[in-house]
């Protein structure tokens, strides 16, 4: 090969190598783009598309008032979960998809005011509905009957507590005792004068309600002809008003 050809060959080799390097670089860039995750879009400059504001009060004044007393009555025996969706508590056990959707829609946008759960497992123990004057409406009563049925079908107790200006912690604890294993000693001290407190005493063995089958609580009548006398009242009061006469020394 003559000396005149050598420079030409060298130039051709350099051009080929340069082309191979450019091709390799482009392939590497394409591979990097494919493996890199997509960037998360930030919406700081698009807040007009998000018209959301923080609720100043998660609980209404009535709910907060009851919650404070409920917390004292329950102590560390249960976790109090407010405003729990029914869909987070129960599920629809139906194989037919269309029927399952229908039953799911029935519990959609419905919740229970308070749910008490086991502190160790968070297993639901009992639900609580706080009934104000709105529950006297016909539509609310129909809703309450449905929710009561849902809880009954799931085997989960649900009690109704009427809204009050002030609550007696002892009474709340006694009502929840069958579900939380609260003893009389563990009940918080009363917040008002004992003379004004309707005494409720829970014993180890109580009769079953003749109306709904729930455990009954030994109470003392506050007024009327039987004022001061003991009687067995249903633990689901006021939902169930079953009563059994108390016989001293017998269950």
pTM of the model: 0.57
C-beta of residue 85 within 8 angstroms of C-beta of residue 106: no
Reference 234, options 221, 223, 244, 246; nearest CA is 244
DSSP assignment letter at 215 = B
C-beta of residue 92 within 8 angstroms of C-beta of residue 103: yes
Secondary structure element (H or E) that encloses residue 245, with its range: strand 243-245
- At residue 138, the pLDDT reads 85
Rg, Å, the chain Cα set:
34
Reference 148, options 180, 107, 176; nearest CA is 107
- At residue 201, the pLDDT reads 38
- At residue 37, the pLDDT reads 58
- At residue 246, the pLDDT reads 74
C-beta of residue 67 within 8 angstroms of C-beta of residue 81: no
The C-alpha atoms of residue 180 and residue 9 are separated, in whole angstroms, by: 93
Geometric angle at alpha carbon 219, from 214 and 221, rounded to 5°: 130
Print pLDDT tens along the chain (251 aa): 555 666 666 666 676 666 667 766 666 666 555 555 555 566 556 777 788 889 889 999 999 999 999 999 999 999 999 999 999 999 999 999 999 999 999 999 999 999 999 999 999 999 999 998 887 888 888 999 999 999 999 999 999 999 999 999 999 999 999 998 754 444 444 444 443 333 333 344 567 777 776 777 888 776 665 677 777 788 777 777 777 777 655 44
C-beta of residue 60 within 8 angstroms of C-beta of residue 83: no
- Whether a cis peptide bond, with omega within 30° of 0, leads into 238 is yes
Geometric angle at alpha carbon 54, from 73 and 88, rounded to 5°: 55
- At residue 81, the pLDDT reads 97
């Amino acid at each position: 090969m003559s000396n005149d050809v050598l420079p030409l060959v060298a130039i051709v080799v350099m051009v080929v190598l340069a082309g191979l390097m450019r091709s390799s670089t482009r392939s590497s860039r394409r591979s990097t783009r494919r493996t890199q995750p997509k960037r998360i879009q930030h919406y700081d400059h698009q807040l007009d598309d998000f018209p959301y504001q923080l609720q100043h009060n998660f609980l209404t004044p009535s709910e907060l008032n009851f919650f404070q007393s409920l917390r004292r009555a329950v102590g560390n025996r249960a976790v109090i979960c407010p405003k729990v969706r029914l869909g987070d508590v129960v599920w629809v056990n139906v194989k037919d998809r269309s029927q399952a959707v229908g039953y799911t829609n029935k519990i959609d946008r419905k919740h229970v005011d308070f749910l008490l759960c086991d502190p160790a497992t968070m297993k639901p123990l009992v639900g609580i509905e706080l009934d104000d004057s709105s529950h006297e409406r016909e539509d609310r009563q129909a809703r309450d009957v449905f929710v009561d049925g849902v809880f009954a079908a799931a085997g989960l107790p649900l009690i109704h507590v009427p809204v009050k200006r002030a609550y007696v912690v002892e009474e709340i604890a006694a009502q929840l005792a069958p579900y939380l294993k609260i003893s009389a000693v563990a009940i918080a001290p009363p917040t008002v004068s004992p003379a004004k407190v309707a005494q409720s005493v829970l014993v180890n063995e109580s009769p079953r309600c003749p109306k709904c089958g729930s455990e009954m609580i030994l109470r003392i009548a506050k007024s009327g002809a039987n004022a001061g006398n003991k009687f067995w009242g249903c633990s689901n009061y006021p939902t169930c008003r079953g009563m059994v006469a108390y016989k001293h020394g017998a269950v």
